[in-house]
Amino acid sequence: MHTGQYYINFASTRYMLAAFLLASLPHFFRVPPIITLLTVLFGIWRLVLARFGLATPKVYLRLVLVGAAVLVIFFAHSDLIGREAGLSMLLVMLALKLVETKTKRDTLLFLFMLYFLIVTNFLYTQSILVTVYLFATLWFVTSVVIGVNRQQQVFVFKPHARLAAILLMQATPLMVVMFLLFPRVPDPLWQLPKQQTTAVTGLSENMAPGDISQLIRSGKTAFRVKFIDTAPPVKKMYWRGPVLSVFDGRAWSVSKALKQPARYERARDSIASYSITLEPTHQKLLPALDVPVSWPDTAYLSREHVLYSRQRIKQRTRYTVSSALWSRSATLAKPLRRHYLKLPPGFNPRTRRLAEKFSTAAVGNEKMVQDILSYFRRNEFVYTLKPPALGKDSVDDFLFNTRRGFCEHYASAFVVLMRMAGVPARVVTGYQGGIYNKLGDYYIVRQSEAHAWAEVWIDGRGWQRVDPTGAIAPERIEYGIDAGLDRDPAWHRSLYDKDNYLSRLALYWDSVNNSWNQWILGYNNQSQTRLLATLGFSGSGWLLKALALALLVALLIGLLLLYYGYKNRLMHRDKGLQLYQAFCRKMAAANLPKHQWEGPRSYAARIIPQRRQLADTIERITELYILIRYAGQPEPRHTRALAHYLRNFKP
């Protein structure tokens, strides 16, 4: 590496520090505050050193600092190898590197490491805004790299920022080609130990009172749905999640046995086909409408018609499902019937008496369902996100004392009532409804659409959905959860539901995000194969991709070179000089080379005595050359004449 003379001064230090801060700013919200503080302090220290022209710290001091920093990181994270600790380490070590930077080698190393720091941000988020911000940062870092390479006493930024912009723009088509064609592998190569500190919101396999109301308070998107043909009405969209059939008197949970895959003939009339883009949940559940009749091979349908993925959903995942909106099951086997009637003994005596009253009064189970629903409607049950606490006999407490609750209370109470009355029943959790995004023609289902309802077994008709919450607040089923809340808990939740420019903007932004997720973040091995297939290349081998990649990259670089070559061709070419050079070569071949210290005239004077018979031609050539070169704007006729003399010139 040739480094030559290099100046690190206040100006270049400021820009390096600015680049560092820009690249680490998003990380400052992720690492412990002490790490941010340490990083910023080291930065300020470097700035002070540069401002007053002080020497960088000696080796032993740097070693002490490294040791101290490692200790601080260890105490802040209680480990050193995890992803979070690694990030803290990267930040602090880069700050220390900046402190000791004084040569060009250090500077470039530091700046190249900033590129790495930029990339680490994308492990945490790949949202559009952060991506735009970090690409701007990348431009800044590149400008500083170019500025450093100019190696001048005065560090200037602007012209180099311009060149960096040109470079980045020219690099973009190359990047797109590489992005599309670089062979992707489906599975990770190696896993860094990762801390599961981030709680992911989503449906769980258990339902204790209050679980769903927690979920409803989150405005996060659960998944987005695009219907392939026509969408069913919003109030019929029940996205089924875990089916809860085991009750311990307080909480409901999933039966492990019934979660197992079941064999189904898939050929049933589908009513709706749709593809869902699911946000990562770190669970296996794939929400789907009612009864899926066709689903991807990587998933299976449980014995309770719930769709599960074979792998945990760790990234945003897209899958396509067809559903029948309801099914006709023939019979319920005896053991299953027993399972769906099971209740813990000794709980809720008042509810049991109520259930017995219903079952004697009603003619048929369907009539009994209606009776219970109208019971909820008549007795002024209140729908609230903040229900009061319930005692040991929670259903008794709810039905006869508090009468205030949320969908899970109603579903739970309803199922208990049905079971006590001898009707097989189960709780279903999932999502209800969705917000239509006109711009992208898809539905957004948020965590706040989380819901719980019931399914009862009606002989001859099979499992029937009953939504007891609908009995209290019917408008909730029509318009989504927000209408049922006591008051507006968060502005963004109601944002979609009013029709004003803000809500349209929010929907527009969501649609942009959706496209970003699908086409850019979701681009993978399969999309790559599909793309190549559309272009007419069958097969998904990496060799094909690599070849296409190499060819296109070479083509693009070739085009750029052609462009610059063409630009140069437009420039004036020194024809006179070329011709005179040819003359000198001919003379040199005749053992009369021109010496370096000779001008054209003295050269002519020296060679004419050696070639008397060519004296006139040599003189003419010399004079024409001098005319062309030194008499201002060269005239084409002189050049032509020179070419003419030279053509017939044989020394």
Partner 1 sequence: MSQWATRLSLRHLAGPELQPVLITRRRIYIMPNGFGLLLSLVLAVMLFGAINYNNSIGFAVTFLLASVAILSLVHANNNLAQLKIRAVAGPPVFCGEYARFQILLTAGSGSDRYSIEAINDHSSAKTDIPANDTGRLWLKMPTRKRGYVPLGRFRLLTEYPFGIARAWSWLYPQAACLVYPAPEKQAPLPKWMGDGDAGQPQEDAIDDFHGFRDYHPGDSPKRISWKQFPADGTLLTKLFCSGHAQDRWLNWDAVSQLPLEQALSRLTRWVLECERAGIRYGLSLPNKKIGCSLGQRHQHECLKALALYRLEEY
DSSP for residue 481: G
The residues pairing with 454 across neighbouring beta strands, listed in sequence order, are 427, 466
Asked if residue 630 binds partner 1 (CB under 8 A), the reply is no
- When the beta carbons of 172 and 298 are compared against partner 1, the nearer one is 172
User: Which of 487, 597, 613, 648 is in the footprint of partner 1 by CB under 8 A?
Assistant: 597
Annotated active-site residue 407? The verdict is yes
DSSP-derived secondary structure for 554-608: HHHHHHHHHHHHHHHHTS---HHHHHHHHHHHHHHHTT-PPPTT--HHHHHHHHG
Asked if residue 151 binds partner 1 (CB under 8 A), the reply is yes
The residues pairing with 442 across neighbouring beta strands, listed in sequence order, are 437
DSSP for residue 274: E
What's the min distance (Å) between Cβ of 61 and partner 1?
26
What's the min distance (Å) between Cβ of 116 and partner 1?
6
- When the beta carbons of 1 and 535 are compared against partner 1, the nearer one is 1
Q: Which stretch binds partner 1 (CB under 8 A): 44-52, 91-99, 111-119, 480-488?
A: 111-119
User: Which of 240, 580, 618, 628 is in the footprint of partner 1 by CB under 8 A?
Assistant: 580
| Cβ atoms of residues 454 and 423 within 8 Å | no
Alpha helices in 278-400 (DSSP H): 334-339, 349-361, 365-378, 394-396
Question: What is the chain's alpha carbon radius of gyration, rounded to the nearest angstrom?
Answer: 38
Q: Which stretch binds partner 1 (CB under 8 A): 210-218, 276-284, 418-426, 569-577?
A: 569-577
User: Which of 7, 75, 112, 630 is in the footprint of partner 1 by CB under 8 A?
Assistant: 112
3-state DSSP assignment of residue 144: helix
What's the min distance (Å) between Cβ of 630 and partner 1?
12
Asked if residue 109 binds partner 1 (CB under 8 A), the reply is yes
3-state DSSP assignment of residue 245: strand
Q: Which stretch binds partner 1 (CB under 8 A): 179-187, 400-408, 459-467, 489-497?
A: 179-187
Asked if residue 418 binds partner 1 (CB under 8 A), the reply is no
For 404, the token pair is 């205030």
Among 27, 160, 305, 451, which one carries the catalytic annotation?
451
DSSP-derived secondary structure for 351-368: HHHHHHHHHHH-SSHHHH
For 189, the token pair is 């190569």
- When the beta carbons of 385 and 628 are compared against partner 1, the nearer one is 628
Q: Which of 209, 356, 225, 354 is nearest to 288 (CA)?
A: 225
Q: Which of 244, 153, 158 is nearest to 205 (CA)?
A: 244
User: Which of 167, 325, 343, 362 is in the footprint of partner 1 by CB under 8 A?
Assistant: 167
Rounded Cα–Cα distance for residues 300 and 447 (Å): 23
The residues pairing with 451 across neighbouring beta strands, listed in sequence order, are 430
Asked if residue 609 binds partner 1 (CB under 8 A), the reply is no
Asked if residue 568 binds partner 1 (CB under 8 A), the reply is yes
User: Which of 55, 59, 185, 333 is in the footprint of partner 1 by CB under 8 A?
Assistant: 185
User: Which of 34, 163, 592, 627 is in the footprint of partner 1 by CB under 8 A?
Assistant: 163
DSSP-derived secondary structure for 449-476: GEEEEEEEEETTTEEEEE-THHHH-HHH
- When the beta carbons of 91 and 452 are compared against partner 1, the nearer one is 91
Asked if residue 595 binds partner 1 (CB under 8 A), the reply is yes
Angle at 85 (CA atoms; ends 82, 90), nearest 5 degrees: 120
- When the beta carbons of 23 and 355 are compared against partner 1, the nearer one is 23
What's the min distance (Å) between Cβ of 191 and partner 1?
8
User: Which of 14, 62, 184, 404 is in the footprint of partner 1 by CB under 8 A?
Assistant: 184
Rounded Cα–Cα distance for residues 468 and 624 (Å): 105
Among 407, 409, 510, 638, which one carries the catalytic annotation?
407
Site for partner 1 in 502-561 (CB under 8 A): 520-524, 553, 557, 560-561
The identity of residue 485, as a single letter, is: L
- When the beta carbons of 359 and 525 are compared against partner 1, the nearer one is 525
DSSP for residue 240: E
- When the beta carbons of 329 and 578 are compared against partner 1, the nearer one is 578
Residues 91-124: b if buried by 16+ CB within 10 A, e if exposed? bbbbbbbbbbbeebebbbebbebbeebbebbeee
What's the min distance (Å) between Cβ of 506 and partner 1?
24
Rounded Cα–Cα distance for residues 589 and 427 (Å): 101
Site for partner 1 in 632-651 (CB under 8 A): none
Annotated active-site residue 467? The verdict is yes
Rounded Cα–Cα distance for residues 11 and 153 (Å): 10
Rounded Cα–Cα distance for residues 616 and 645 (Å): 10
User: Which of 33, 61, 64, 182 is in the footprint of partner 1 by CB under 8 A?
Assistant: 182
Asked if residue 116 binds partner 1 (CB under 8 A), the reply is yes
Site for partner 1 in 223-262 (CB under 8 A): none
| Cβ atoms of residues 383 and 451 within 8 Å | no
Among 27, 467, 510, 638, which one carries the catalytic annotation?
467
Q: Report CA torsion sign: 248, 251, 254, 256.
A: negative
Site for partner 1 in 297-356 (CB under 8 A): 315
What's the min distance (Å) between Cβ of 171 and partner 1?
4
Site for partner 1 in 391-410 (CB under 8 A): none
Residue whose tokens read 């735009």: 132
| Cβ atoms of residues 55 and 22 within 8 Å | no
Angle at 176 (CA atoms; ends 525, 90), nearest 5 degrees: 80
User: Which of 7, 33, 41, 150 is in the footprint of partner 1 by CB under 8 A?
Assistant: 150
User: Which of 148, 237, 418, 507 is in the footprint of partner 1 by CB under 8 A?
Assistant: 148
- When the beta carbons of 109 and 631 are compared against partner 1, the nearer one is 109
Asked if residue 370 binds partner 1 (CB under 8 A), the reply is no
- When the beta carbons of 139 and 537 are compared against partner 1, the nearer one is 139
Asked if residue 54 binds partner 1 (CB under 8 A), the reply is no
Asked if residue 52 binds partner 1 (CB under 8 A), the reply is no
Site for partner 1 in 117-136 (CB under 8 A): 118-120, 122-123, 126, 131, 134-135
Query: Who contacts 224 (Cβ-Cβ below 8 Å, separation ≥6)?
Result: 276, 277, 442, 443, 444, 445, 514
Residue whose tokens read 């409803």: 216
Rounded Cα–Cα distance for residues 332 and 497 (Å): 42
Helix axis angle, 104-121 relative to 10-28, nearest 10°? 20
Asked if residue 93 binds partner 1 (CB under 8 A), the reply is no
- When the beta carbons of 118 and 428 are compared against partner 1, the nearer one is 118
What's the min distance (Å) between Cβ of 555 and partner 1?
13
Site for partner 1 in 426-465 (CB under 8 A): none
Asked if residue 97 binds partner 1 (CB under 8 A), the reply is no
- Name the residues annotated as catalytic: 407, 451, 467
